Amino acid sequence: MFEAHSINAEHKDLIHDIAYDFYGQRMATCSSDQFVKVWDEDEHENWHLTASWKAHSGSVWKVTWAHPEFGQVLATCSFDRTAAVWEEIVGEGSGPGERGMRHWIRRTNLVDSRTSVTDVKFAPKTLGLLLATCSSDGVVRIYEAPDAMNLSQWTLQHDITCKLPCSCLAWNPSLSRLHPPMIAVGSDDASPSNGGKVFIYEYSENARRWTKTDTIASINDAVHDIAFAPNLGRSYHTLAVATKDVRIISVKPLPDSAANGQARFEISTLAQFDDHYCTVWRVCWNIMGTILASSGDDGCVRLWKDNYINNWKCVAVLKGDGTSAQSSDNATSATQNSNHTAVQPALSTTRYQRIVPTISMMAEMDKVIQAPLSMNSKKYQTSSIKGRSNKWVMPGIPSEAYFEPPPPNIAKSKNKK
């Protein structure tokens, strides 16, 4: 079963992005209302709004946290053509109590773009304090704070021109020294004739510049979001792409390819799912890179997981109305959506229960349904066992002769050696 609860995000318009800090204890939200809000979770899992400020003069598209080694730092990007870096400060201004309002200061405003800045992402911390932005005019910019302890000084290190408008970017989080820094950029250019829509850039230490090393030719439709899975010891990188469907792409570096001018990577599609039956807008990996969440206009979030032989499957479908139905304070939206139950004949809450085991157990959906049934039908008299070494006591035993040999003599595990 899923445990669910909801909060009112207090934004005046739709949220564009939610980002969690490294520990999942702080949440930053951004919205078309031009505000950024920061929420802190207490030990009882309640979220408290601790900061809210007007960050930009246009819709705020994305918000992202820096690694905690750089302090409490956020970056945002907006329709107003800027990206900004924010730092939380404590001390003088903070009111009494631990959960008073916090103050966030704009440490820098990156104004190089001439069009809407569509994405902003911090580099993996091993590369230092680096920030990449991309914009709708097709330029990717890499900024660096040379002194990681000084967030006010950022220099534009590189600008890379893609030929198409950029909608999203992702750093390869691989921490291995074997791979040069890598960025994937997606374009939401809708014309298939313009070719592949995901570009891979790598930084060459020798040339001190970023170069496009590959284009994923198999994706010609508009790309709305991309995400690298954390690479936990695999020989290839896994990239999730939100386009007209969900794609999971493997990018495998080929040995000795740089020298002889051949392709850098072997790129293959691990999985492709059109279960959303509509455009997929977002993809997001969990921290281990084991489960991918995808979402689209159908109002569903689908979770994808691979098994031990890298077979990808949908393990759960989360429906917006289902969520609402579970939290009582949200009754209005639940009823609003009741007319959609035709799509999913089962009650959405039951649907949740059914998909549950799959979350951790990579099961096929149809099989799971029968599992709870057999579990719940109490076939056996459990009440008869009592006592650690199965002493179900026989009342009024006539004579010793009727005793069966004592049940398997179970070593008492509580008597630890």
Residue 240 Cβ vs other proteins, minimum distance, rounded to whole Å: 12
How many CA within 13 A on the CB side of residue 187?
27
Q: Quick one: 57 or 109, whose CB is closer to other proteins?
A: 57
Residue 236 Cβ vs other proteins, minimum distance, rounded to whole Å: 14
Residue 261 Cβ vs other proteins, minimum distance, rounded to whole Å: 32
Q: Which amino acid appears at position 414 of this protein?
A: K
Residue 179 Cβ vs other proteins, minimum distance, rounded to whole Å: 14
Q: Quick one: 258 or 371, whose CB is closer to other proteins?
A: 371
Question: Are 75 and 83 within 8 A, CB to CB?
Answer: yes
Residue 173 Cβ vs other proteins, minimum distance, rounded to whole Å: 9
Q: Quick one: 82 or 324, whose CB is closer to other proteins?
A: 324
Question: Are 239 and 229 within 8 A, CB to CB?
Answer: yes
Rounded Cα distance between 252 and 274, Å, is 24
Distances from the Cα of 202 to the Cα of 121, 179, 215, 253, 285, angstroms: 16, 9, 12, 12, 22
* β-sheet bridge partners, residue 226: 241
Question: Are 76 and 93 within 8 A, CB to CB?
Answer: no
Question: Are 267 and 249 within 8 A, CB to CB?
Answer: yes
Count of C-beta atoms within a 10 Å radius of residue 61: 23
Q: Which amino acid appears at position 272 of this protein?
A: Q
Q: Quick one: 71 or 195, whose CB is closer to other proteins?
A: 71
Residue 406 Cβ vs other proteins, minimum distance, rounded to whole Å: 10
* β-sheet bridge partners, residue 253: 265
Residue 286 Cβ vs other proteins, minimum distance, rounded to whole Å: 4
Q: Quick one: 17 or 214, whose CB is closer to other proteins?
A: 17
**Helical packing angle, 365-376 and 348-361, nearest 10°:** 100
Nearest to 195 by CA among 167, 216, 166, 172: 216
Spatial CB neighbours of 59, under 8 Å, sequence gap ≥ 6: 16, 31, 32, 34, 78, 79
Q: Quick one: 220 or 358, whose CB is closer to other proteins?
A: 358
Residue 150 Cβ vs other proteins, minimum distance, rounded to whole Å: 9
Rounded Cα distance between 363 and 374, Å, is 16
> What does residue 154 show for φ and ψ, rounded to 5 degrees?
-125, 135
Q: Quick one: 345 or 380, whose CB is closer to other proteins?
A: 380
Residue 207 Cβ vs other proteins, minimum distance, rounded to whole Å: 26
Q: Quick one: 83 or 264, whose CB is closer to other proteins?
A: 83
- One DSSP character per residue, 116-158 reads -EEEEEEPPGGG-SEEEEEETTSEEEEEE-SSTT-TT--EEEE
Nearest to 254 by CA among 265, 238, 270: 265
Q: Quick one: 78 or 213, whose CB is closer to other proteins?
A: 78
Residue 262 Cβ vs other proteins, minimum distance, rounded to whole Å: 29
> What does residue 195 show for φ and ψ, rounded to 5 degrees?
85, -160
Residue 212 Cβ vs other proteins, minimum distance, rounded to whole Å: 20
Q: Quick one: 25 or 215, whose CB is closer to other proteins?
A: 25
Own/partner pairs for 368-374, CB < 8 Å, 24+ apart? none
Q: Quick one: 144 or 214, whose CB is closer to other proteins?
A: 144
